[in-house]
Chain A
Amino acid sequence: MSNLNNGSNDYSQTLYKKISYFLTIIVTEVIIFYMFINFLSSKGIDYRLFLLILPIIAFFILRGNQKITNLVKESYSRCNSFSVIFMILLLVFIPFLFKDNSYLLHICIMSGLYLIIALGLNIQLGSTGMVNFAFAAFFGVGAYASALLTINFNFSFWLGILAAIIISAVFGLLIGSLTLKSTGFYYALVTMAFQIIFHLLVNNLRFTGGSGGISNIPFPTIGKYSFSSSLNILGINLPFQANYYYLVLAVVLFSLYLAKRLYNSRTGLIWNAIREDEIAAKCQGININKGKLEASAIGAIFGGMAGPIYAHYISFISPESFTFHFSVVLICIVILGGLDNILGVIIGAVLLTVIPEKIRFFAEARMLFYGIIIILVLIFKPQGLIPERIRKYNFFKF
């Protein structure tokens, strides 16, 4: 360490390092973003799909290079907040790129919604180890609660979303308290039963509209501005989906922040302890029942956040959107991405919503495709695309 006594040299070196970190982040994120955009806007099999292959090959070649992988890893861990802010800036830019193609914007919105729900499921399936097959029901409770309240009681969308969150949290607590005693297979069975019960009830009760569902759910408004009107920013006319895109983006960021904080909190640690070994956790003085109830309620809150947005965006909901199939799709997202890993859930949600939309055969045989993915991932990569990382604590940083 010869540069300890050479102040100016040290300063320029850190500056140089900082700039190299920033540049790496900018380059990698722009490449990822560019790939994503290309993949989204490709039609069937065309040249843009081949553009996708180049970065993937580059990734596999460069992965062996210690110097570059270290640089990338270091820059993301040192300049974490910059990487997040830069990614958000890129994401804000998406509606301008897709202003002529509202369908692509629709896919982005749906993957955002799936991401929010999958984050909630990740708390239960990934962190706490509760294999919940009723997550589509949590999502459905939120959607139905908000839709019914806005239509029948003239709630505004914003009040509706709040009510939906509370109602789905209560629903989560209810299921959680009924399943406190049952673990493993029994928990899975009870949640399957609840999923079927929810679907049958919604499908047959009169006030939920039966199998015809609820249509004409009002659009959200802010003051006089309705979300159904096209968004005008700096003289550029964006399709009305852009409103929802920004709403979903905001909620996604909020839920990511929430999930990250929960993961790093004591509660997250308690959840992991319950997952690893309930008896050992009990012996450590952890209140298992409280931990499980928290996981059920908080997971349900994520579903309750996404539900109203979905209902008011599509403006039509029917029982077919909240079936057992959808629960399995969500489980597929979490398993593919990697259990208890927020970055993994992001990747899983985006991949599994975009790929079936893009490739025609998959859209027809969607569930077949999801089933095959689950089995292949479980056999060949049981940790998911991004394995769970060992928790890091900065003990010496104040």
Chain B
Amino acid sequence: MALELKGEQALKVGQQALWKLLNDPDVLAKTIPGCNTVRALGDDRYEMGLKLQVANVSGEYMGSVAITEKQEPAHYVLAVEGQGSIGFMKGSAAFDLEPKGDNETLLRYAGSAEVGGVVAGVGQRVLSGVAKYMVGRFFKALEKHIADNP
């Protein structure tokens, strides 16, 4: 089944600084919910481990993340592919960073993912809710990281 995600978030950080944060594996490891490892493989490719819980299904995904179409500091596309005990996911999202004053950036994102396996069948009713919730947690963690590291 397909999952669509689209939205925007204003962050209290400059465009270039935000670009750096979003391309820093250590920051991503800390801010992506459930993420336990991010390892750079070079060429803007990363290996990532995620622990997820959707409805009554929980499990781990191992996957790869690739960043393409880079137009620093304004635009990139993130392609994600992962699989684990609860199924697979494969998707991509475009990110646009738009400066909003000196110390604020608007981050727009739009993407879709294919999800399969147990998580797709059991969690389908709540999947898009869970995805939105996880995006929200990611931004909260990112905001906290920005506030803690001025």
A binds B: no
